């Protein structure tokens, strides 16, 4: 039997809670002190750099209007957090908004409905791997630009056709 565990962060109590499914052995649980402790938050700084690169690529590749601004920091910091939003030119297509939290992490909003925190928690018990989070961000962006995350078939419009896969340019 495969044990699956996930951690969710309750901002009201500033605590991480482990949800255990499929009869996980309590002996496999991280030590109690690992919950809520973050020994190396800077390992997530790479998410900021990667998200900026993804947004730059998307803005160059698709017909979008880019909006930059500041908003309240969803990570609980009292400071303002910068965000970048790409609003597709095609009506009815979901926009992409990424807020760069002070944690450091990302709050990714796809269209009107889907919002994801990367990392979801960041505590030592969750032990999120930044490489996995980058892959998740990439997958979410691919779904949005390819319309798979939407309930309609309208997708983001390219500025110019992509070259064939076997092209040397």
Q: Residue 45, Cβ neighbours under 10 Å: how many?
A: 13
Q: Is the per-residue pLDDT at 19 higher than 80?
A: no
Asked whether 29 and 6 are in contact (CB, 8 A), the reply is no
How would you classify residue 76: left for phi > 0, otherwise alpha for psi between -120 and 50, otherwise beta? left
Residue recorded with tokens 């002996």? 27
Q: Is the per-residue pLDDT at 165 higher than 50?
A: yes
Share of the chain above pLDDT 90, in %: 47
- Banded pLDDT at 33 (limits 50, 70, 90): confident
Q: What is the pLDDT of residue 149?
A: 42
Q: Is the per-residue pLDDT at 23 higher than 70?
A: no
Q: The pTM is what?
A: 0.74
Q: What is the pLDDT of residue 113?
A: 81
Distance, CA of 36 to CA of 45 (rounded, Å): 19
Least confident range from 14-23, 83-92, 138-147: namely 14-23
Q: What is the pLDDT of residue 70?
A: 98
Least confident range from 28-32, 42-46, 52-56, 157-161: namely 157-161
Q: Is the per-residue pLDDT at 1 higher than 70?
A: no
The whole-number average pLDDT for the span 30-36 is: 83
Q: What is the pLDDT of residue 93?
A: 85
Q: Would the CA dihedral through 111, 112, 116, 118 be positive or negative?
A: positive
Least confident range from 44-58, 62-76, 143-157: namely 143-157
Range 62-71 contact pairs with CB under 8 angstroms and sequence separation of 24 or more: 62/86, 62/88, 62/145, 62/156, 62/157, 62/158, 62/159, 63/88, 63/89, 63/90, 63/156, 63/157, 63/158, 63/159, 64/88, 64/89, 64/156, 65/89, 71/99
Q: Is the per-residue pLDDT at 50 higher than 60?
A: yes
Least confident range from 38-47, 68-77, 149-158: namely 149-158
Domains in the chain: boundaries: 4-34, 41-145
């Amino acid at each position: 039997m495969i044990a699956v565990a996930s951690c969710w962060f309750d901002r009201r109590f500033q605590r991480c809670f482990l949800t255990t499914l499929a009869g996980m052995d309590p002996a496999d649980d991280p030590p109690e002190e690992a919950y809520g402790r973050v020994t190396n938050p800077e390992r997530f700084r790479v998410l900021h750099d990667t998200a900026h690169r993804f947004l730059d690529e998307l803005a160059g590749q698709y017909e979008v209007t880019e909006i930059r601004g500041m908003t309240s920091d969803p990570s609980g910091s009292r400071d303002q957090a910068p965000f970048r939003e790409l609003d597709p030119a095609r009506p009815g297509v979901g926009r992409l908004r990424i807020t760069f939290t002070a944690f450091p992490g990302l709050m990714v909003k796809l269209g009107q409905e889907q919002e994801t925190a990367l990392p979801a928690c960041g505590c030592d018990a969750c032990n999120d791997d930044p490489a996995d989070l980058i892959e998740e961000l990439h997958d979410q962006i691919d779904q949005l630009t390819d319309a798979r995350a939407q309930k309609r078939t309208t997708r983001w419009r390219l500025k110019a056709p992509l070259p064939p896969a076997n092209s040397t340019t």
